[in-house]
Structure formats: structure tokens, C-alpha cells
Amino acid sequence: MSSTTTDAKQRLLEAAIEEFALHGYDHGTVRRICGKADVNVNAVKYYFEDKRTLYIEAVKEAHRARHRAMPPGGLIPPDDDPNGDPAIRLKAFIRQMVTMAVSAQKRIDHNHLLIFREISDPSEATRDIVQEFIGPHFRRLNDILRQLLPKGASDSQRHMFAFSLIGQCMHYKIAGPVIGMLISEEERRQLSAERVSDHIYQLMMAGIERAAKTDSA
Amino acid sequence: MSSTTTDAKQRLLEAAIEEFALHGYDHGTVRRICGKADVNVNAVKYYFEDKRTLYIEAVKEAHRARHRAMPPGGLIPPDDDPNGDPAIRLKAFIRQMVTMAVSAQKRIDHNHLLIFREISDPSEATRDIVQEFIGPHFRRLNDILRQLLPKGASDSQRHMFAFSLIGQCMHYKIAGPVIGMLISEEERRQLSAERVSDHIYQLMMAGIERAAKTDSA
DNA sequence: CTTACAATGAAACACGCGTTTAACTCGATA
DNA sequence: TATCGAGTTAAACGCGTGTTTCATTGTAAG
């Protein structure tokens, strides 16, 4: 059995996910990764040729790991019925994304962190990530919005709504440190995933309803 | 006359703004900066002690430069009357921010780039930047929102509206590359600063009006 | 027992970085 | 003219990085 080799490679991958999620590709060092994985620095060349390849494989592994451990609370909820109430689906979508954005600090989910980082700081692997990982979610969001927006809404109109939603959710993660400097710590605690996601939901629904009115007018 | 010294220091600052705006603090190298400024590497120690101080001074200079070259189309329009129609002020605020976000590619404005980078990728200087530069804009936005939102709206409620606005605008810059991978190039061109800012304005106003209704109910 | 080979380990290499040192230039001043 | 000091220059230092080399281990096959 080549159990040890698989173990070492797997440990290396998981350590890389954590390292790159916390520090990004550039700031992440192979020495720290190997330290976490308890393997020699040479292992990265042995198993992955170089740092760049290790990173790409780590992102892919993070993707696979997320699909493996989907329930409960996965990104694509198993009960997201395409024929369900689109408003409820939208609310759930927002809730999940905000939770990812604001709660990634306490319950550290390196797989999610890595994806967020890829979006805000693209690397050579971003094209793959977008196609394999982000694309499906973006299409699902667009499906929901298509049902909610008036029939006459154009693709670009719908996409702007999608970007508005995504932008709001991601802002709490990306600008997290700056937000912490702009408001008091006490108020920061009040911005729970529940409150924030509800706010975004109300805002989106209000905009959608307005679009419906101006469209019919 | 100490014209040459001032020249060298100024050239260093401007080169640093460009370098840090394009590559960020970590990726920016003092050697490249000195190359652009056509000065010796030691000049950064001579004039600014070290890289970090040079960076902070560069950001401050970028701030000053923006205020110097304010009209036309500056971030804080000279005609932003605190007593003017808050809806119009909001529209202008959004328009300016979106313009910064989407047009920073063609007309390279290193000063703006530097600020955006500070928000999405904080450095040691971020605390200063937030206090001196971002804070005033954030407060101005909150002044506008305070006039538009119902009296009973809490601080955190108003702040969430502010973050929603900022998040939407910044998303077009931060997730620019990913957006380019999600939609066609033709549609990408359709997302002009005018359309996007109008969309965000409509969305925000709809949300504000809904808040007013639910508040009075 | 010997061999073969995957796996590991320790050390060094080559490079770029920020930083520092020390020498040099050159105009102002006494 | 001699002196001083601000400005500038070239070279090196110390460090951390990704990467490479080469020796060593452990295990399975011949």
C-alpha cells in the first residue's frame, strides 16, 4: 500500500489550502506549508513540481472538498428546488453568501476563503475556478432573478442585479478590516449574518419590484 | 536653491504612487520606484527613511493631488451643497464612485487606484488612510443617507445602506476580471458607468423608500 | 541477500528584496 | 583656499524565498 505517500500528499494539499486561504498565493510560503503538513520542502517538488502547481491543485481540492461535505449548510442547498418560490430561494442565496462573508472568521472555512480570495485577487487559476465553481452559482442566481424580474428585463439588466447582490455580500468580507475602522466595535457585533442578509434581501426585493413597475409603465 | 532635492523627492513620490497603485505595497519594489524616478535606491532612505514611510507619504500625496486637481469630476464635487436635494447628492455620489471603479482602466488614475487597493488589501498604512481619506467620504455618504432614511432609522441600519452602496460600486473594480469571465465582452461594454450608476441609484432609492414605509407601518 | 525504486531528509543554490555603508560630488560659506 | 554639509552614487549586507541537488531510508521484488 502506498498509504503514507497518499497521506503526505493529502496533508500537503490541506496545509496548502489553509496557508493560501490565510495568506494568499504570494504571501503563502512553501516552507510554512511543509511545516504544517510535516513534510520536507522537497515534497512539493516531488508531488506537485512547483508552488504554482501546488496552488492550483489546492484550489481544485478545496472545490472537491466543498462538494464532498455539502450537507448540512452547503453552498448549494440540497433543497434548493428550482421550482420553489424564487423569493425564498433568493433569501436563502443571500443568507448563505453573507454567512460565508461574515462568519469566515470564527468558524474558519479555508475552502470558502480560498474562493473569495480568488475573486478579489485573481491568479492564474482563476479562469478554472470561475468556470468550474463560480459559474454554476452565478447561473443559479440568474435563474432566480429571471423569475423575479419582469419578462422584458434584458440580460445585462439582470446581471446588474446579480452583481449588486454579490457586491454587497462580498463587501463585508473584502472590506472587513476597513469596516471595522469606520464603525464602533459594538456596532460591528450587531451586524450579524442574519441582519445583514435580511437588509440585502429587502433592498434587492425593493429594487426588483421597482423594476417591475417601471417596466410595466 | 534646493530645487533638485525637491524635484527628486517629488519624482520619488509620484513614481511610488504609480508603482504602489499598479502593484500594491508588497509587490511594489523600491528598486523599480527609484528606476522610474531616476534616483538612487538610497534616496528612499534619505528622504523617507524606509519603504513603509514612503508608501504612507505616497498615499497622502495621492490624496493631496486629488484635491489639487479636483475640478472637473472630482470625488468631492465643489458644488456638493450639504443643503441640496439629498437624492441628487446620492446620485452624484454613486456616479462618482462607479466612474472611479469602471473607468480606472482606460484613463489610469493612480491616485484612485491606490485608495481602492488600500480598501481591498489593507496594509500598515490603512488606518491612516481610513481616518484621513475614506472617513470623510463615509461621513458625507451617511449625511446624505440620514436625510433620505426615516428619522427612526438606527445608525447600524444607515451604515448597512452605506455598505450596500459602497459594496456594489467597488464590486465592479474588485471583481472586474471575474465579471469579464462571467459575461460576454459585448455585454461588458454595455455596462457603462452611466448605466451601472443609474441601476445602483434606483436600487438604493427603492430600498430607502421601502425602509420608510416599513418604518411608518 | 541483493537489487530497485519510491519516499524522505538535509543542505545548499540562485535570486530578489529592503536596507545599509561608505565614498564621492559640488556648491555655499568663512 | 579650505571646510562643511546636503545630495548622490555604487556596492555590499542580511534575509527570506522557491528551487535544486544529492545522500539516505524503507520496503517490495528478484
B96 and B62 within one domain: no
CATH of the domain at A115: 1.10.357
DSSP string, A142-165: HHHHHHHS-TT--HHHHHHHHHHH
Indicate the range of B52-56, B58-62, B81-85 predicted with least confidence.
B81-85
A5 pLDDT more than 80: no
Look at residue B187 and tell me if it is in a domain: yes
Number of domains in chain A: 2
What DSSP letter does each residue of A72-135 carry, written as one string? SS-SS-TT--TTS-HHHHHHHHHHHHHHHHHTTTTS--HHHHHHHHHHHS--TTHHHHIIIIIH
Q: Which of B62-66, B107-111, B157-161, B212-216 is least confident?
A: B107-111
Nucleic strand D within 7 A of Cβ B5: yes
| pLDDT tens profile B202-216 | 999 999 999 988 866
| A183 contacts in chain B (CB < 8 Å) | 155-156, 159
Kindly report the nearest CA distance between residue A55 and chain B, in angstroms.
18
Tell me, yes or no, whether B73 lies in a domain.
Answer: no
In a domain, B148, yes or no: yes
Determine the pLDDT at residue B196. 95
pLDDT tier at A166 (50, 70, 90 boundaries)?
Answer: very high
Looking at residue B141, its pLDDT comes to 94
Interface of A with B in 125-184 (CB under 8 A): 126-127, 130-131, 134-135, 138, 155-157, 159-161, 163-164, 166-172, 174-175, 177-179, 181-183
With a cut of 60, say whether residue A105 has pLDDT above it: no
What mean pLDDT, rounded, does chain B reach? Answer: 85
Q: How far apart are CA B4 and CA B10, in angstroms?
A: 10
Q: Are B65 and B133 in contact (CB under 8 A)?
A: no
Residues B57 and B124 in one domain: no
Asked whether residue B81 is assigned to any structural domain, the reply reads: no
Answer yes or no: is pLDDT of A216 > 70.
no
- B114/B157 same-domain check: yes
Interface check for A49 against chain B (CB to CB < 8 A): the answer is no
Q: Evaluate whether residue B72 is within a structural domain.
A: no
Higher pLDDT among residues B70 and A155, named by residue: A155
pLDDT of A186: 93
Is the separation of the CB atoms in B94 and B197 below 8 Å? yes
Q: Who wins on pLDDT, A127 or B50?
A: B50
Q: Which residues of B touch A167 (CB under 8 A)?
A: 167-172, 175
* Contact criterion met (CB below 8 Å) for A190 and A102: no
| B44-57: average pLDDT | 94
Residue B84 or residue B3, greater confidence:
B84
Same domain, A34 and A115: no
Mean pLDDT of A12-18: 95
Considering the domain architecture, whether residues A91 and A177 belong to the same structural domain is answered as yes
The CATH code of the domain that includes B32 is 1.10.10.60
What pLDDT score does A79 carry? 58
Name which residue leads in pLDDT, A125 or A158: A158
Flag whether pLDDT at A147 surpasses 50.
yes
The answer to whether the beta carbon of residue B27 comes closer than 7 angstroms to any atom of strand C is: no
Nearest CA of chain A to the CA of B9: how many Å?
30
Q: Which has more pLDDT, A36 or A1?
A: A36
Residues 6-25 in B having a C-beta less than 7 A from any atom of strand D are 7-8
Instruction: Give me the pLDDT at residue A2, please.
Output: 40
Predicted confidence (pLDDT) per residue in B5-46, tens digit: 568 899 999 999 999 988 888 899 999 999 999 999 999 999
The predicted model gives B50-63 an average pLDDT of: 90
Amino acid A130: pLDDT: 82
A93 and A18 in a common domain: no
Q: Tell me the average pLDDT across B49-68.
A: 86
Tell which strand D nucleotides have any atom below 7 Å from a protein Cβ: 6-12, 16-22, 28
Say what the pLDDT of residue A74 is.
Answer: 44
Full residue range of the structural domain in which residue B34 is found: 3-67
In a domain, A80, yes or no: no
Greater pLDDT, B215 or B144? B144
Residues B204 and B149 in one domain: yes
Q: B97 and B32 in one domain?
A: no
Kindly report, residue by residue over A30-75, the tens digit of the pLDDT.
999 999 999 999 999 999 999 999 999 998 888 788 777 654 444 4
How sure is the predictor about A139, in pLDDT bands with cuts at 50, 70 and 90? Answer: very high
Mean pLDDT value of segment A198-217: 89
> What pLDDT was estimated at residue B75?
45
Chain A window 22-81: residues with CB closer than 7 Å to nucleic chain C are 39-43, 46
Name the minimum distance, in Å, from the CA of B77 to any CA of chain A.
22
Which nucleotide's C1' sits nearest to the alpha carbon of A28? Answer: D17
| Cross-chain residue pair B181–A120, CB shorter than 8 Å | no
Q: Which of A108-112, A181-185, B211-215 has the lowest mean pLDDT?
A: A108-112
CA distance A91 to B40: 57
Q: Band of the pLDDT at B116, cuts 50, 70, 90?
A: confident
Q: Does residue A212 have a pLDDT over 90?
A: no
Higher pLDDT, B71 or A207: A207
What pLDDT is attached to residue B3? 44
Residue B194 lies in a domain: yes
Instruction: Judge contact between A122 and B178, C-beta under 8 A.
Output: yes
My answer on whether A97 and A59 are in the same domain is no
B122 and A CB contact within 8 Å: yes
B60 and B22 in a common domain:
yes
Distance of alpha carbon B141 from alpha carbon B84, whole angstroms: 13
pLDDT at residue B173 is higher than 80: yes
In this structure, the answer to whether residues A109 and A44 fall within a common structural domain is no
CB B144 within 8 A of CB B96: no
- For residue B76, being part of any structural domain is answered with no
Q: Would you place residue A217 in the very low, low, confident or very high pLDDT band (cuts 50, 70, 90)?
A: low
pLDDT recorded at residue B214: 80
The arithmetic mean of pLDDT across residues B193-208, rounded, is 96
Residues 6 or more apart whose CB falls under 8 angstroms from that of A76 comprise A70, A136, A137, A140
Percent of chain B with pLDDT over 90: 51
Asked if A98 and A187 sit in the same domain, the reply is yes
- Report which of A151, A28, A3, A147 is spatially closest to residue A87, judged by C-alpha positions: A147
